[in-house]
Amino acid sequence: MITFIVILGAIVFCMWFFQNQIVGHIGEKHTANRIRAISKGTVFRDVYVEGSHGVQQIDIIAVTEKGILVVEKKTYIGLIVGNAYDKQWTVIAGWGKKKYSMKNPHHQNYGHIMALREKFPALKDKFIDLVIFGNKAKLGDRIPEDTICDRDFKKFYRNLPTRMNTQEIECAARNIASLNSDRARLKAMHKQKIRGMRKGL
């Protein structure tokens, strides 16, 4: 009985400690599956690419007939306030009682796209910046149009012009897939980069 309680306690603690990672993983997987179902494209998750500003970690890349969607996924709950130029956005939750800042996700995604353009210059005009929040977020009036919630993806995608033919799609998908060949090294470098940022190095 004591062993069971200890194990249960350990599980509860781990779920609490890693709740942000768990929620993020589930939300990212849900979004990737929705993009795949609607676009019929090739979807990659948790992609690492090395550019002149170091290793970038990209939540989702979807190679579709509309272009290559580079997606930054966010799972914040509450009202999201900000505009395209603000360095920081504000999340207002708990009926206005809680306010905290988040980095402008488009600024994050800009670095991702720049790294991809460096790696694949022939595809530089095919990348599309997209930030997707979960459906429990409410987007403020000044939020850029390329920021949506999961439920809005179908409408967003259908309104995009077709930009790639079958041959271009297949070639682009192979290029993105090739990034996985060096995944272990790049992931380790990215973790080191994040640790350095947290320490202020």
Unique residue bearing structure tokens 């210059």: 121
Residue 192: its pLDDT value, please? 78
Q: How far is CA 27 from CA 41, 146, 162, in A?
A: 19, 18, 27
Residue 12: its pLDDT value, please? 43
Contact 140, 81 (CB under 8 A): yes
Residue 72 in tokens = 């930054």
Q: Pick the residue with more confidence: 19 or 197? A: 197
Q: What residues contact 110, with CB distance under 8 A and at least 6 apart?
A: 129
Contact 152, 35 (CB under 8 A): no
Number of other CB atoms surrounding residue 77 within 10 Å: 16
Cα-Cα-Cα-Cα dihedral sign, residues 14, 18, 22, 23:
positive
Residue 178 in tokens = 């090739």
Q: What is the DSSP letter of 72?
A: E
Of the ranges 76-80, 113-117, 169-173, 190-194, which one carries the lowest mean pLDDT score? 190-194
Q: What residues contact 131, with CB distance under 8 A and at least 6 apart?
A: 71, 72, 73, 74, 105, 106, 109, 144, 146, 147, 148
Q: What is the number of residues in the chain?
A: 201
| pLDDT digit string, tens, across residues 114-164 | 999 999 999 999 999 999 999 999 999 999 999 999 999 999 999 999 999
**Which of 124, 103, 104, 125 minimizes the C-alpha distance to 115?**
124
Burial of 111 from C-beta contacts in 10 A (0-12 / 13-18 / 19+): middle
| Beta bridge pairs of residue 44 | 61
